[in-house]
Amino acid sequence: MKTEAKSPSNVDGIKKSNMKEPHLPSRDSDFNASFFKDLLKAWGEDTSCLQDNLSSFQLFKILSEKFHHLKSKLESYIENSDGGDKSNAAYEMHLYFKSDIEWTKSVIEKDKTGKPSRFAYFLLTESKVSCDWAKRVIENAVSGHPADYACSLFKEGFADIDWAKRVIENAKTGYPAEAAYQLIKSSVSDCDWRNIIIKGLYIDDITDEDEEALKKSIPNILWAMKVIENANIGDPAIAACKMYLRMYSPLEWAKNVIENAKTGDPAYAAYLICNSNTLMKDWAKSVIENATVGDPAEAACEMYLKYLCDFDWAKRVIEKFTANDVLRMSYLIDKCIYRH
């Protein structure tokens, strides 16, 4: 009798429709302990050694010790994922699994969701990549904090200030306003900035050396102010506050940036201004009351703790901005009551 050939859907007498595929975690997940537990379970591995609260380096250290035989599979899964911090995962794979540096570089270069600038910087400071490669990754980063690491490259002598300024100006992610402040702060750290400003503004006998330092610094300060006032990501309000408090940018300029900030924490910036100049109490209270971003409840609490407002005002603002978070409302009001 002629035996009927088994169709692909009936291999070994089991219908494919009844075969369960292993449940793999989403390819846009973060590469944390929970992710790897799901992935390794799907691959039939025992994951009892993985705890949910492991830091990144602890996690990859354990992975390399217990699952080194899965190195190639892990590399492939990380490289082809659609999200998460692929740069971090690739960097840790290089450290603990001894993944090839060229594979690590390739993943970092292509990362659109993680922190490629951060790990390009790490590899550069560890002398594992060229400066040109790291600079290229930072310039092209569309996620993470390219402005911060452009500033870091300047501070550590890997790049000139013009390159760092260009990256900060063009950053579409991260905290370019803060990076602009940090860049200028570090660029004038070789002179006594406070004394130069005071002598330049109030005393006629400024030295030629101080005057020259002042002339060189002013264009960079004006550049930073422009970057900060035009920033629509990060925290321009806090950066403007720092420019006023530490770099002596005009108060009216800082107030204008804080009042118009649509991102960051303008309420807390207003509190910091007020804490340094109590004549700004009414202005700060108005900014805090009308804030649409940041944490105005925290700012109101700090205002009261530093004796910059009365208890009823602080309580009213805290209640307004924490109406949907009763626990936090109670915590902040209790802080005020304790001082009260």
Question: Could you write out the DSSP letters of every residue in 252-267?
Answer: HHHHHHHHH-SSS-HH
User: What pLDDT does residue 201 have?
Assistant: 54
Q: Helices then strands (H, E): number in the chain?
A: 19, 0
Calculate the CA 146 to chain-centre distance. Answer: 9
**Which pair of structure tokens corresponds to residue 19?**
């075969």
Burial class (CB in 10 A: 0-12, 13-18, 19+), 189: exposed
User: What pLDDT does residue 23 have?
Assistant: 57
User: Tens digits of per-residue pLDDT, 278-316?
Assistant: 999 999 999 999 999 999 999 999 999 999 999 999 999
CB 303 within 8 A of CB 321: no
Task: Give residue 199's pLDDT band: very low, low, confident or very high (50, 70, 90).
Answer: low
Residues 107-114, mean pLDDT to the nearest whole number? 96
CB 192 within 8 A of CB 182: no
Q: Which residue from 63, 73, 107 is spatially nearest to 87, judged by alpha carbons? A: 107
| pLDDT at 195 > cutoff 50 | yes
CB 180 within 8 A of CB 168: yes
CA within 13 Å, CB half, 331: 7
How far is the C-alpha of 35 from the C-alpha of 157, rounded, in Å?
38
Calculate the CA 39 to chain-centre distance. Answer: 27
Residues 120-133, mean pLDDT to the nearest whole number? 97
| pLDDT at 78 > cutoff 80 | yes
Burial class (CB in 10 A: 0-12, 13-18, 19+), 17: exposed
User: What pLDDT does residue 218 have?
Assistant: 81
Residues 155-170, mean pLDDT to the nearest whole number? 96
User: Taking the model in full, what pTM does it have?
Assistant: 0.84
Return the beta strands (E) in the chain as ranges: none
Burial class (CB in 10 A: 0-12, 13-18, 19+), 20: exposed
Task: Give residue 2's pLDDT band: very low, low, confident or very high (50, 70, 90).
Answer: very low
Residues 108-119, mean pLDDT to the nearest whole number? 96
Lowest mean pLDDT among 84-88, 133-137, 196-200, 242-246: 196-200
Lowest mean pLDDT among 103-107, 138-142, 209-213: 209-213
Percent of the chain with pLDDT over 70: 84
User: What pLDDT does residue 204 have?
Assistant: 56
Task: Give residue 196's pLDDT band: very low, low, confident or very high (50, 70, 90).
Answer: low
How far is the C-alpha of 315 from the C-alpha of 56, rounded, in Å?
40
3-state secondary structure of 190: coil
How far is the C-alpha of 296 from the C-alpha of 132, rounded, in Å?
43
User: What pLDDT does residue 246 have?
Assistant: 87
User: What pLDDT does residue 197 have?
Assistant: 59
Q: DSSP states of 104-171 as a string?
A: HHHHHHH-SSS-HHHHHHHHHHTTSS-HHHHHHHHHH-SSS-HHHHHHHHHHTTSS-HHHHHHHHHH-
User: What pLDDT does residue 30 have?
Assistant: 83
CB 104 within 8 A of CB 123: yes
Mean pLDDT over all residues of the chain? 88
Residues 13-41, mean pLDDT to the nearest whole number? 66
| pLDDT at 139 > cutoff 60 | yes
